[in-house]
Amino acid sequence: MTATQSDKNTDQLQPERYFAPVPDETEAYDLPVTGTLPTELAGRYFRNGPNPLPGDPSGHWFTGIGMLHGVRIAGGKAEWYRNRWVKTARLAGERFMDENGRRNLAVNSANTHIIEHGGKLLALCEVGFPYQVTPELDTVGPVDFGGRLTTAMTAHPKQDPVTGELHFFGYGFRPPFLTYHRLSASGELVHSAEIDVPASTMMHDFAITENYVIWLDLPLVFDHTLLERGMPYEWRDAYGARLGVMRKDSTKVQWFDVDPCYILHVVTRSRTPRAGSWWTLSATADDRGTRFGARSVVRSKSETTSSTRRRRWASARCTAGRSTLPAGPSASSSSTIVASNSPLSTKAGPACPTGTSTP
């Protein structure tokens, strides 16, 4: 690689050049529209992503304070736009650890995703509590579900489309390293259970099916000696990589070894009943935790012995490829749509589908 090529590659990773943060909070009304908005489309489009304060560089794309962007659409018009930083305890300058060495889960960036569940809008970041915000994007505060949540909450929870329950997990730097949680459709934390894993890893996502949870235990491992660099994780081949399959009503996990890779986001998942069980998981993946662009199909097998020996197979398709980064200030962001028939929408109107999008 030539020096010019190296400089070019380095430039591509400079957020101040290509994904510069928005320097202030603002709002606008009666926005100009290019083309036509369907009159049936009514609701709010929200987006969340890391956005460091002016003069306070984060040192890493993933660690800036969360900034929310919102557009209100109704009657064929874009009624307003506004953006707000999530007013977290981290933004207020509170310490990550208290004087007794306990983790303060309210100190996080709330910068990765925004969802609606149980009548609340929640800004999420996987290293701490979610933050509730209003439909106008003002911060209400951290949410621990009545004191029942004692771990962080993943930024990528999964809603069961049948029961309305929200399945999520939290990983920690200290034991318990992984905890599974479930919220009722109304937003009450009704179930929490520790899942046994050997170390703290950066488990960014997971998957659910109708009856099962799929865990991604991969070799991007926490190292406290790296805390000062911003992202305290390193690739460890020796840790190995595996997928875990667990019934939603159990804490017993069947693990399947896979070739080393890192799965950032799950795209689809399915179970095909056969002699034994085949599991297919499609995801964005990285074969060494540092680069994208490969495509691999990995399989693993596990033998269980009872009165007869049975063989079960797991199949994980790690479909890699560089994601197209969204235009705008954040290199990593997630969005959600709140329909007009949601309790969070202040104006009545025809219903539109509610969904989430993770670029």
3-state secondary structure the chain: CCHHHHHHHHHCCCHHHHCCCCCCCCEEEEECCCCCCCCCCCEEEEEEEECCCCCCCCCCHHHCCEEEEEEEEECCEEEEEEEEECCCCCCCCCCCECCCCCECCCCCCCCCEEEEECCEEEEECCCCCCEEECCCCCEEEECCCCCCCCCCCCCCCEECCCCCCEEEEEECCCCCCEEEEEECCCCCEEEEEECCCCCCECCCCCEECCCEEEEEECCEEECHHHHHHCCCEEECHHHCCEEEEEECCCCCEEEEECCCCEEEEEEEEEEEEECEEEEEEEEEEECCCCCCCCEEEEEEEEEEECCCEEEEEEEEEEECCCCCCCCCCCCCCEEEEEECCCCCCCCCCCCCCCEEECC
Provide the mean pLDDT of the chain.
Answer: 78
Of residues 323, 250, 337, 271, the one with CA closest to residue 292: 323
Specify whether the CB–CB gap between 302 and 247 falls below 8 A. no
Whose tokens are 């795209």? That residue is 267
Phi, psi values for residue 85, rounded to 5°:
-70, 145
C-alpha 313/C-alpha 150 separation (Å) is 35
pLDDT value at residue 337: 63
pLDDT at residue 309 greater than cutoff 60: no
pLDDT tops 60 at residue 235: yes
Q: pTM score, two decimals? A: 0.78
* % of the chain with per-residue pLDDT over 70: 69
Whole-number pLDDT of residue 344? 62
pLDDT at 292: 30
Q: What is the pLDDT of residue 199?
A: 97
Cα separation values, 325 from 307, 328, 334, Å? 52, 9, 11
Position 301 scores a pLDDT of 33
Model confidence at 231, pLDDT cuts 50, 70, 90, reads: confident
**How much is the pLDDT for 326?**
31
- Asked if pLDDT for residue 338 goes beyond 60, the answer is yes
* Residue pLDDT, tens place only, 247-283: 999 999 999 999 999 998 887 666 665 545 556 667 6
In this prediction, residues 95-119 reach a mean pLDDT of: 91
Confidence (pLDDT) at 267: 79
Percentage of residues in the chain having pLDDT higher than 90:
58
* pLDDT tens per residue across span 9-34: 444 455 556 678 899 999 999 999 99
pLDDT band for 59, please (50, 70, 90 cuts).
confident
Alpha carbons 224 and 138: distance in angstroms, whole number: 34
When pLDDT is averaged across residues 298-308 and rounded to a whole number, the result is 31
Per mean pLDDT, which range of 92-101, 156-165, 208-217, 233-242 is the poorest?
92-101
* pLDDT tens track for 109-166: 999 999 999 999 999 999 999 999 999 999 999 999 999 999 999 999 999 999 999 9
For the ranges 139-148, 205-214, 340-349, the lowest mean pLDDT is seen at: 340-349
The residues, ordered by sequence, that sit 6+ positions from 283 with a Cβ below 8 Å of its Cβ are 205, 263, 264, 265, 266, 267, 316, 317, 318, 319
Residue 324: is its pLDDT beyond 70? no
Quick check: 291 and 220 in contact, CB under 8 A?
Answer: no
> Would you say residue 316 has pLDDT above 80?
no
Q: Is the pLDDT of residue 71 over 90?
A: yes
**Which pLDDT belongs to residue 196?**
97
Specify whether the CB–CB gap between 46 and 69 falls below 8 A: yes
Burial of 177 (0-12, 13-18, 19+ CB in 10 A): buried
Mean pLDDT of 161-183: 96
Q: Output the pLDDT for position 298.
A: 30
